[in-house]
Amino acid sequence: MIDGVENERWAEGKSRNSSGGTMAISMTGTRGERQPRDLHETNLGWKVSRARCEMRYFDAVWRGEIPVRNLFLAERRTAHFAGTLFLPMKILVADKISSKGVAHLRQQPGFEVVEAYGSSPEKMLTLVKDVHAIAVRSETKITREIIAAAPLLKVVGRAGVGVDNVDVEAATERGVVVMNTPSGNTIATAELTFTHILCGARPVPQASASMSAGKWDRKSFSGVELFRKTLGIVGLGRIGGEVAKRAQAFGMRVLAYDPYLAPSRAKAMQVEAVSLEELLPQCDFITVHMPLTDDTKYMIGAAAFEKMKKGVRIFNCARGGIIEETALVAALKSGKVAAAGLDVYEGEPLAADSELRKLPNVVLTPHLGASTAEAQDAVGVEVAEQIADVLAGGVIRNAVNMPSIDAAALKVLAPYLDLGTKLGALVQQIAPAQISELRITYWGKVTELDANSVTRAIQRGYLRRISGEEVNFVNAPFFFKRLGVGVEVTKSNSESDYAGLIQVTAVTPDGGIH
Ligand SMILES: NC(=O)c1ccc[n+]([C@@H]2O[C@H](COP(=O)([O-])OP(=O)(O)OC[C@H]3O[C@@H](n4cnc5c(N)ncnc54)[C@H](O)[C@@H]3O)[C@@H](O)[C@H]2O)c1
């Protein structure tokens, strides 16, 4: 069985239900064919009719059959003269996102923004009745019931990374796009990591607590310098890369273990790419920055601590569970690990009686990686822009459950996308971890399809175990670029024994073919 692939659900869930989510008023499907109708004013002062809510027009726009810009520009003007306009699209901002994000939504023509923070689940059921989009952070839960109560819902935008508070499966079944904003937190989390690294070197929080207790203790809080020390970064993605830059500025030697990173990318960052076995015994400081996957769970456990230098300092601002907490506590107690800094935990919130809270050489923060004013602004604006783009029929960015393909094309493409995802996952599992290129060749009738989407499906399948749930059809090529892995696509017209054929080949840096 290919890992992760049997859970692919989007292919069944993406097709639009004609009753699910339309709002156009008085349109019979083709522009210009408007019928006499009774008119009334909406709260925006637009004249609309509810006489014939056939909803077909907006459905067509949503499916991508009619460019939405026509709806908002020429179409609106024409409709106005015809005495008819569309109801605004309603966006519910259910959790407090940055005011800049809300302002961005308000500026969009044809959007009505409702801010309702901290609403109870019962209240949400009423609020969502006529909304097209919901923006949340982590507080409001978008449950199956809420999705069912929102027949017009097109998109749920999460300002932040984790979508645990959204029932993605229910959304996918309904064809509702669920999006997150993975990059807005990068600098904030890299800086928090570096704060932890500095506090691991110099016990500032402990010294401050001692001062607050009225003491003047100049002996207990001696530290070490970062200058000329070796930092090991496990997972050299967005955040790991930013941590590397900061460490270099402090005069540290930086080693990185990221099996999916091309050597050229590590070289460009002036980071020494090494294996985990090589990294562990050499480093004075180790920080982890990868997703929690089957491969990364407990990657830093008792066996890994065994291989480390005595007095190593260790940090996790990525995901709880990458470092095994019981093994860390033992290593801290034995003196193998001199200090640790954690922002994330195996169970959150961290248990009040956790051993970690009792150790003097540990600095703990309650999952604050993204908690800066700038990151909050960034994710708020990002989610607002993404929602606006989706509702305006533009690009779907950072969708966790949908490819950005219109429904008609999807119907034809779906089996190929499914196959592509499986092929990508299979190749990733049989090829060595480090590759420099993925070569994809299409033959026969596959060449007539949207090969770009199939390529993305292959890339997404390939990345599932590497980048976790964050990777999707939209961002898979970007993930490849960041890993420094090239993708070469060929549409071949040479003869083949099959009506359609897709070949995926992984090429290693030494030219090996898999
Ligand atoms: N503390 C917080 O509040 C906070 C905020 C933002 C992100 N995060 C977490 O930080 C982590 C890193 O985020 P990012 O944006 O840099 O992600 P990213 O996808 O940019 O980078 C992850 C890197 O991990 C690498 N990787 C995957 N599997 C690996 C393995 N088995 N061994 C070594 N490397 C492996 C990937 O190749 C990739 O380069 C994620 O887990 C993210 O959820 C935490």
CB 187 within 8 A of CB 377: no
Q: Give nearest CA residue, ligand 1 atom 15.
A: 238
Question: Does the C-beta of 367 come closer than 6 Å to ligand 1?
Answer: yes
**Top-ranked range on mean pLDDT: pick from 82-86, 158-162, 344-348, 387-391:** 344-348
What average pLDDT is seen over the chain? 82
The H-or-E segment that residue 413 falls in is: helix 407-430
Task: Reply yes or no on domain 403-514 having CATH 3.30.470.20.
Answer: no
- Homologous superfamily, domain 88-184+376-391: NAD(P)-binding Rossmann-like Domain (3.40.50.720)
pLDDT for residue 345 is more than 90: yes
Q: For ligand 1, atom 11, name the residue with the nearest CA.
A: 318
Which residue is it, tokens 């480390």?
A: 308
* Active site (annotated) includes residue 367: yes
Find out whether the beta carbon of 291 lies less than 6 Å from any atom of ligand 1. yes
- Percentage of the chain with pLDDT > 70? 79
Residue 351 Cα to ligand 1 midpoint, Å, equals: 24
Does the pLDDT value for residue 339 go beyond 70?
yes
Confidence of residue 192 (pLDDT cuts 50, 70, 90): very high
Q: Is the CB of 307 under 6 A from ligand 1?
A: no
**Confidence at residue 474, expressed as pLDDT on a 0 to 100 scale:** 57
Whether 63 and 408 have beta carbons less than 8 Å apart is answered as yes
Determine whether the shortest distance from the Cβ of 290 to ligand 1 is under 6 A.
yes
Nearest CA-CA partner of 434 in 289, 247, 257: 257
- The least confident of 271-275, 298-302, 342-346, 430-434 is 430-434
pLDDT(9) > 60 = no
Task: Please give the distance, rounded to the nearest whole angstrom, from the Cα atom of residue 172 to the centre of ligand 1.
Answer: 25
Residue 410 is predicted with a pLDDT of 61
Q: Specify the residue with its C-alpha closest to ligand 1, atom 5.
A: 369
pLDDT classification of 79: cutoffs 50, 70, 90: very low
Contact at 8 Å (CB) between 26 and 34?
A: yes
- The response to whether residue 484 sits with its C-beta less than 6 Å from ligand 1 reads no
| The pLDDT of residue 466 | 87
**Residue from 319, 397, 465, 482 carrying the catalytic annotation:** 319
Residue 199 CA from chain centroid, whole number: 29
Q: Report pLDDT for 308.
A: 98
With bands split at pLDDT 50, 70 and 90, how would you rate the model's confidence at 173?
low
Residues in the chain: 514
471 lines ligand 1 (CB under 6 A): no
Q: Is the CB of 468 under 6 A from ligand 1?
A: no
Active site residue 464: no
Q: Which one from 348, 374, 448, 488 is the annotated catalytic residue?
A: 348
The DSSP call for residue 28 is -
The band of 405, judged by pLDDT with boundaries at 50, 70 and 90, is low
Residues of the chain with CATH 3.40.50.720: 88-184+376-391, 186-364
Which residue out of 183, 258, 368 has the highest number of ligand 1 atoms within 8 Å of its CB and is therefore the one to mutate? Answer: 258
Task: For ligand 1, say whether the CB of 23 is within 6 Å of any of its atoms.
Answer: no
Determine the atom of ligand 1 nearest the C-alpha atom of 291: 41
The pTM score is 0.70
- Convert the pLDDT of each residue in 449-463 to its tens digit: 878 789 988 998 999
In this prediction, residues 396-410 reach a mean pLDDT of 66
For residue 339, the cross-strand partners are: 313
Protein residue whose Cα sits closest to atom 28 of ligand 1: 466
Helix axes 373-391, 186-201, angle to 10 degrees: 160
Residue 40 φ then ψ, to 5°: -150, 170
- Is 50 noted as a catalytic residue in this protein? no
Distance 290 CA to ligand 1 centre (A): 3
Helices 373-391 + 99-107 axis angle, to 10: 20
Mean pLDDT within 143-166: 94
Confidence at 263, pLDDT banded by 50, 70, 90: confident
As annotated, the residues of the chain forming the CATH 3.30.1330.90 domain(s) are: 403-514
The class level of CATH for 186-364 reads alpha beta
- 2-11, 201-210, 239-248, 271-280: lowest mean pLDDT where? 2-11
Q: Which residue has the higher pLDDT, 449 or 19?
A: 449
Rg (CA), the chain: 26
pLDDT at 257: 97
CA atoms of 347 and 145, how far apart (whole Å): 27
Averaged pLDDT for residues 175-198: 92
Nearest to 364 by CA among 343, 388, 385, 349: 343
Interval 432-484: pLDDT, tens: 999 999 999 999 888 888 787 899 889 989 998 887 755 766 567 778 988 99
Contact at 8 Å (CB) between 253 and 303? no
